[in-house]
Structure formats: structure tokens, C-alpha cells
């Protein structure tokens, strides 16, 4: 089932339970090579979300700023993006181009992500694809400028969202996660994957 909310295409339950489980298995492999880290914003504030990445680039933040980097903060290169994740990207976007980054956001109890825009990529004409796994999350969508009315929807395990066109630069965030609402991850929590084209180079 696909619905469109403010230019965001939401595919409810795009992945069935078996597909979600095998994706989580693949991610365990990725995270054993590139462990989750608790990022710190340039202001020195630790984020409540823990992060890692797969692909040629990962998004990182520390005291010196936000950026895409070709290495994990501990120095190793990022693992490849698993095939089943790439396949979701190609199918929902219809693009041949491979994403540069699969950012992995992990939400434990109480984690959230404030309203922000994603502006560290080189070309905003490429869409961003999000895959939700695990606990239910309240996703808030705003406007391309700060302020104004926002709209919220629940994202459940297996949902896929495509942000393209106008929606690509809209403010968005995660207000809360219902800890323990999904049986997918043994100890609860939520994983969100975002697939992005970062560099313009072809």
C-alpha cells in the first residue's frame, strides 16, 4: 500500500517479516565490522541516536562538524551495502545509480531526532530512501523552511519512505519511538536505514 503525505511516498509494510529478518541479519554483519557510535554534534552535545553506515561514504559528526567520510571514526573502511537493501533502493526509485551511503540509525529507549534538513549531499535532485525496522516511530514532516504546520505519521517495521522532489529538502524528525512495540529486534529498539546519493561524480 502506498500513500503520499506532503510529497513523501510511504510504502506501508513494503518488507514482510522474513525480508525484515534477513535484512537485520545482514545488518548484524555490517555492524560487526563498523560498530554503532554515539555521535557528538559540533556543539558538543551527544546525540541520542547511535549511528554507523555502509557504502563508500558514511555520515559522521563530531566537534569539528558534520560531513560524509570514507572511513568509520575508528579508521576502517565502511562495509558494502547488502544486496537486499540495494534492491529496495533500485525498485522504489527506478534508478540504476547506486547510492553512496546507507546510514544506519539505531534508536534505543528514549532516543529521538529533532527536526532538521538533510543538506550535506552534493545534489538534492536524487531521492533519499528510508527503511524502518523494529519499534514504531512517530515521524514528523514539516516544510522546506523552518516553522509552519507539520504532519506526523507512524512508521512501522517494514515501511519504506521515498523523499524526492519538494520533500527532499523538507524539515523532518522522529519525535518518539514506542520502545518494545515490535518483536523484530530481541531487545527492542528501532533501526532506520537511509540510502543517499552523496557525490555528484558519475
Residues that bind Fe ion (CB under 5 A): 118
Q: Which helix (H) or strand (E) holds 191?
A: strand 190-196
Which of 42, 33, 64, 88 has its CA nearest to residue 53? 33
E strand or H helix at 29, and its extent? helix 17-33
- The 3-state DSSP class for residue 193 equals strand
Interface mask toward ligand MD3 for 161-200; x: CB under 6 A: x-x---xx-x-x-x-----------------x-x------
Considering the complex, what minimum distance in angstroms separates the CB of residue 185 from Fe ion? 21
Of residues 51 through 110, those in contact with ligand MD3 by CB under 6 A are 103, 105
Pick what 170 binds: ligand MD3, Fe ion, none; C-beta below 5 to 8 Å, kind-dependent. ligand MD3
What number of chain residues touch ligand MD3 (CB under 6 A)? 16
Phi/psi of residue 29, each to 5°? -60, -45
- Binding partner of residue 72 among ligand MD3, Fe ion, none, CB cut-off 5 to 8 Å per kind: none
Give the nearer residue to Fe ion in terms of CB position, either 142 or 189. Answer: 142
Q: Are 169 and 119 in contact (CB under 8 A)?
A: yes
- What is d(CA 99, CA 126) in angstroms, rounded to the nearest whole number? 9
Regarding 128 and contact with ligand MD3 (CB under 6 A), the answer is yes
Amino acid at each position: 500500500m502506498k500513500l503520499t503525505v506532503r510529497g513523501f511516498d510511504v510504502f506501508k509494510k513494503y518488507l514482510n517479516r522474513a525480508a525484515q529478518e534477513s535484512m537485520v541479519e545482514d545488518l548484524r554483519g555490517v555492524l560487526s565490522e563498523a560498530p554503532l557510535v554515539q555521535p557528538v554534534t559540533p556543539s558538543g552535545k551527544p546525540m541520542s541516536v547511535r549511528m554507523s553506515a555502509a557504502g563508500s561514504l558514511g555520515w559522521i559528526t563530531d566537534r569539528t562538524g558534520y560531513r560524509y567520510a570514507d572511513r568509520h571514526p575508528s579508521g576502517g573502511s565502511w562495509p558494502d551495502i547488502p544486496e537486499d537493501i540495494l534492491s529496495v533502493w533500485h525498485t522504489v526509485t527506478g534508478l540504476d545509480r547506486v547510492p553512496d551511503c546507507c546510514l544506519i540509525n539505531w534508536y534505543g529507549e528514549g532516543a529521538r531526532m529533532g527536526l532538521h534538513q538533510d543538506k550535506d549531499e552534493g545534489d538534492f535532485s536524487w531521492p533519499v530512501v528510508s527503511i524502518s525496522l523494529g519499534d514504531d516511530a512517530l515521524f514528523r514532516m514539516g516544510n522546506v523552511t523552518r516553522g509552519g504546520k507539520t504532519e506526523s505519521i507512524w512508521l512501522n517495521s517494514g515501511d519504506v519512505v521515498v523523499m524526492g522532489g519538494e520533500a527532499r529538502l523538507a524539515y523532518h524528525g522522529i519525535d518518539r519511538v514506542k520502545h518494545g512495540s515490535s518483536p523484530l529486534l530481541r531487545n527492542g529498539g528501532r533501526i532506520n536505514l537511509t540510502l543517499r546519493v552523496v557525490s555528484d561524480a558519475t
